């Protein structure tokens, strides 16, 4: 059909309405079988919730939610990450992201992953971040994660993994971890730094 020959094919299925029993206005949309040039696969979803009852709330997302988000009484819809991926046999690439706004939070994240396979040799690398800001009581957490791995015939030849997280307030905490593996030797370490949000006054 014409779908297979389209340079850009985007199909979005959506549903919306008002649920009077739950005092809820809702809208959901999702990309289906979407692609560019028949090579790049496009995914993603959108969701909107407006609850107008006694426990009213607002929720809007493109691509889903932060992994650590606690929705409380909210019913979270399942929303696919917004992203694109391509698989050319020896090389593959995947990118995804999300953005969410709720009555009490702002959430943002992205991840890029790539791989290479040449006979018995394979390599895989990634970098990603996730951030969550809660307004009341104020709280935030931001995390970055990156690494790569090289394997020969399914055996890890070398790998590197680093991650860091900043959270606060009260107090501000910085955590970092890193590990390096070469053949059968692994070296890893971590550090946590706590920054007091109310340092004592200096003595004159």
Instruction: Tell me how crowded residue 46 is: count the other CB atoms within 10 A of its CB.
Output: 19
Q: What is the DSSP letter of 197?
A: S
Distance CA 69, CA 61 (A): 13
What is the pTM for the complete model shown?
0.83
Give residue-wise pLDDT tens across range 77-131. Answer: 899 999 999 999 899 999 999 999 999 999 999 999 999 999 999 999 999 999 9
Mean pLDDT of 166-187: 93
Structure tokens at 95: 């990118």
pLDDT of residue 72: 83
pLDDT digits (tens, 9 = 90+) for 136-173: 999 999 999 999 999 998 888 999 999 999 999 878 99
The pLDDT score that the predictor gives to residue 4 is 55
Cβ–Cβ contacts within 10 Å for residue 31, how many? 19
**Mean pLDDT for the stretch of residues 24-40:** 91
Question: CB count, 10 Å around CB of 43?
Answer: 19
Beta bridge partners of 113: 94, 126
Identify whether 169 is preceded by a cis peptide bond (ω within 30 of 0). Answer: yes
Q: d(Cα 149, Cα 147) in Å, to the nearest integer?
A: 7
Residue 54 pLDDT greater than 60, yes or no: yes
β pairing state of 34-36 and 57-62 = unpaired
Task: Identify any residues that bridge with 155 across adjacent strands, giving them in sequence order.
Answer: 152
Mean of the pLDDT values across residues 178-189? Answer: 94
- Mean pLDDT (the chain) is 90
What is residue 161's three-state secondary structure?
strand
Q: Token digits for 31?
A: 């990309």
Quick one: pLDDT band at residue 197, thresholds 50, 70, 90? low
Residue 203 confidence (pLDDT)? 45
Say if residue 204's pLDDT is above 70.
no
């Amino acid at each position: 059909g014409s779908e297979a020959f389209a340079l850009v094919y985007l199909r979005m299925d959506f549903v919306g309405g008002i649920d009077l029993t739950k005092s809820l206005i809702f809208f959901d949309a999702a990309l289906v079988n979407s692609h560019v040039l028949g090579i790049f696969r496009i995914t993603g979803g959108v969701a909107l919730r407006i609850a107008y009852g006694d426990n009213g709330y607002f929720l809007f997302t493109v691509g889903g939610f932060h992994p650590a988000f606690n929705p409380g009484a909210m019913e979270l819809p399942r929303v696919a990450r917004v992203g694109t991926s391509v698989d050319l046999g020896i090389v593959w690439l995947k990118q995804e992201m999300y953005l969410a706004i709720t009555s009490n939070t702002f959430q943002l994240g992205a991840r890029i992953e790539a791989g290479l396979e040449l006979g018995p040799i394979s390599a895989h690398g990634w970098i990603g971040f996730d951030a969550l800001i809660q307004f009341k009581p104020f709280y935030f957490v931001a995390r970055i994660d990156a690494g790569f791995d090289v394997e020969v015939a399914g055996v890890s030849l070398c790998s590197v993994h680093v991650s860091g997280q900043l959270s606060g307030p009260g107090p501000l905490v910085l955590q970092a971890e890193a590990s390096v593996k070469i053949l059968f030797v692994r070296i890893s370490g971590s550090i946590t730094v706590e920054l007091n949000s109310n340092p004592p006054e200096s003595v004159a």
